[in-house]
A = this chain, B = another copy of it.
Amino acid sequence: MTAEIAVIGAGLCGNLLAILLARQGLKVTVFDRGPPPDAPEPAAGRSINLALAARGIRALEQAGVFTDIEPLLLPMAGRIVHEPGGDVRFLPYGQRRNERIWSVSRSALNRCLWEIARDRFAVDYRFTHDCIHFDAASLTATLRSDDGELAVRAGLLLAADGAGSTIRRSLEQGGRLSASEELLDHGYKELLIPADAAGEFALDPGGLHIWPRGGFMLIALPNLDRSFTATLFLAHRGQAGFESVTTDQVIGFFRDNFNDALPLLPQLQQEFAARPTGTLGTVHCEPWGHRPEPDDGRRALLIGDAAHAIVPFHGQGMNAAFEDCAEFDRLIATQGPDWNAVVPQFEAVRRDNTRAIARMALENYAEMRDTVRDPAFERRAELAFELERLFPGRFIPRYSMVMFHPEIGYAEAERRGHIQAGILAEALAAGEPAAALRLAAQLVATRLPA
């Protein structure tokens, strides 16, 4: 079949893209290998809830669907850190009004976007169509369904088929694209903290719970049904790793390391045995845009995780993918549906930004599992907040730039973050708080543009 626009992948990125493109009057067909999102169980091996932050919200607002999504969100105002001894500390994400991130169920969000695309914008969906190959020369996707194989050509084919993108791998095998998939030596496993006997949240639902333990960590995000999804991040190998912690040992491992979480995980052993261990990694590839031979004006474009999957430790994977969608929409609004112009411009705008968030997401893993335990982390965070009060819009903690300031691109956030880290380090070396603040203020005035 020939489509005006074909989107491969009815995940978060594909569905938001479909809405945005349909809003611009374009005809969109979306293909996905899975069943429709109203099937009872979320796909295994993918994270169950996610953190939505300002970049994602901004893209949803651009699509005019944020008010539809809002009822699915649970606010998290900071990190709730569980010490090994059982002490609990609250570290706010930001100090300004409404600086929160939002826990959201991947499946509920995805279903909502799909329903809007289908019902409000008449997007055509073809489920249980598995993309098994992509021919680089003809830009033709081969999709397998119960009806056999379908060859799909489109004026624009958008590969929103995720970190394990078949389209990316086909292009790589065809020598059209160079890619790196850097797997983290840590994996993850998801566990359920059900609501308590009274039907209430078993933990404070107002934050993201972390049990940082240096080499590994447990986290938990609240769900609308008053459960939490906990995620254990552990090395694949080594002593405190998935290869060593067997199903028999997991209770003891939790008792030793996450003792206060143990009573909240009634199915720990069963879940640990039954749930797959997820892998985490960073995907880089180039180029994202592809033209057929001979060039007939059609284009293919990798987008979202398919183009630049990242590790989850900054909670920005979905947000970055939604920002991709918003940027693509903006380029079409400006250029019209001129794929020859829009596709390379998209790549030019997004490449540095997605590279930057890939690096920052990796750095944040160390911060989450380790640094938040360090008293120096709190001193640095306090000085950073004080500088933000004094120099609003000029000194903004890097975490805040990434999470709460979508007007600052990822690359710019990383660049300013480096300057700020230098200021904080130099100032804190000056000793007592008043001296540190005075020096820091002088350094801000010198090094950060007004």
Report whether A333 and B393 are in contact in the complex, using a CB–CB cutoff of 8 Å.
no
Task: Output the nearest chain B residue to A391 by Cβ-Cβ distance.
Answer: B330
Q: How far is the CB of A149 from chain B (nearest CB, A)?
A: 39
Measured between beta carbons, the chain B residues less than 8 angstroms from A393 are 406-407
Tell me, yes or no, whether A419 is within 8 Å of chain B by CB.
no
CA distance A159 to B444 in the complex (A): 29
Q: How far is the CB of A447 from chain B (nearest CB, A)?
A: 12
CA distance A389 to B65 in the complex (A): 12
A residues 319-334 touching B (CB-CB < 8 Å): 329-330, 333-334
Which interface class (under 10, 10 to 19, 20 to 34, 35 or more) fits A? 20 to 34
Tell me, yes or no, whether A249 is within 8 Å of chain B by CB.
no
Measured between beta carbons, the chain B residues less than 8 angstroms from A390 are 62, 329-330, 333
Q: Is the interface of A mostly helix, strand, loop or mixed?
A: helix
CA distance A442 to B334 in the complex (A): 5
Measured between beta carbons, the chain B residues less than 8 angstroms from A329 are 390
Tell me, yes or no, whether A413 is within 8 Å of chain B by CB.
no
CA distance A390 to B437 in the complex (A): 39
CA distance A441 to B393 in the complex (A): 26
Q: How far is the CB of A330 from chain B (nearest CB, A)?
A: 5
Q: How far is the CB of A257 from chain B (nearest CB, A)?
A: 37
CA distance A389 to B330 in the complex (A): 9
Report whether B96 and A389 are in contact in the complex, using a CB–CB cutoff of 8 Å.
no
Report whether A61 and B96 are in contact in the complex, using a CB–CB cutoff of 8 Å.
yes
Task: Output the nearest chain B residue to A57 by Cβ-Cβ distance.
Answer: B97
Tell me, yes or no, whether A98 is within 8 Å of chain B by CB.
yes
Measured between beta carbons, the chain B residues less than 8 angstroms from A58 are 392
Measured between beta carbons, the chain B residues less than 8 angstroms from A334 are 441-442, 444-445
Report whether A97 and B96 are in contact in the complex, using a CB–CB cutoff of 8 Å.
no
Measured between beta carbons, the chain B residues less than 8 angstroms from A97 are 57, 61, 66, 98
Measured between beta carbons, the chain B residues less than 8 angstroms from A98 are 97-98
Report whether B61 and A336 are in contact in the complex, using a CB–CB cutoff of 8 Å.
no
Report whether B438 and A336 are in contact in the complex, using a CB–CB cutoff of 8 Å.
yes
Report whether B62 and A333 are in contact in the complex, using a CB–CB cutoff of 8 Å.
no
Report whether B389 and A62 are in contact in the complex, using a CB–CB cutoff of 8 Å.
yes
Measured between beta carbons, the chain B residues less than 8 angstroms from A407 are 392-393
CA distance A329 to B391 in the complex (A): 10
A residues 397-450 touching B (CB-CB < 8 Å): 406-407, 434, 437-438, 441-442, 444-445
Task: Output the nearest chain B residue to A396 by Cβ-Cβ distance.
Answer: B407
Q: How far is the CB of A78 from chain B (nearest CB, A)?
A: 16
Q: How far is the CB of A305 from chain B (nearest CB, A)?
A: 23
Report whether B441 and A333 are in contact in the complex, using a CB–CB cutoff of 8 Å.
yes
Measured between beta carbons, the chain B residues less than 8 angstroms from A434 are 25
Measured between beta carbons, the chain B residues less than 8 angstroms from A442 are 334
CA distance A442 to B332 in the complex (A): 10
A residues 323-368 touching B (CB-CB < 8 Å): 329-330, 333-334, 336
CA distance A273 to B218 in the complex (A): 70
Q: How far is the CB of A432 from chain B (nearest CB, A)?
A: 13
Task: Output the nearest chain B residue to A96 by Cβ-Cβ distance.
Answer: B61
Q: A334-B441, A336-B438 are in contact. Are A62 and B406 (CB under 8 A)?
A: no
Measured between beta carbons, the chain B residues less than 8 angstroms from A64 are 389
Task: Output the nearest chain B residue to A349 by Cβ-Cβ distance.
Answer: B450
Measured between beta carbons, the chain B residues less than 8 angstroms from A96 are 61
Q: A62-B392, A389-B62, A392-B62 are in contact. Are A333 and B406 (CB under 8 A)?
A: no
A residues 185-203 touching B (CB-CB < 8 Å): none
CA distance A445 to B327 in the complex (A): 12
Measured between beta carbons, the chain B residues less than 8 angstroms from A406 are 392-393
CA distance A57 to B391 in the complex (A): 14
Measured between beta carbons, the chain B residues less than 8 angstroms from A95 are 61
Q: A61-B96, A98-B98, A333-B441 are in contact. List 4 more A-B contacts (CB 8 A).
A: A62-B390, A62-B392, A333-B390, A336-B438
- Can you list 16 residue pairs at the A/B interface with Cβ under 8 Å? A25-B434, A57-B97, A61-B96, A61-B97, A61-B389, A98-B98, A329-B390, A330-B390, A333-B437, A333-B438, A333-B441, A334-B441, A334-B442, A334-B445, A392-B406, A393-B406
- 6 residue pairs, one from A and one from B, having the closest CB atoms: A393-B407, A333-B441, A334-B441, A334-B445, A62-B389, A333-B390
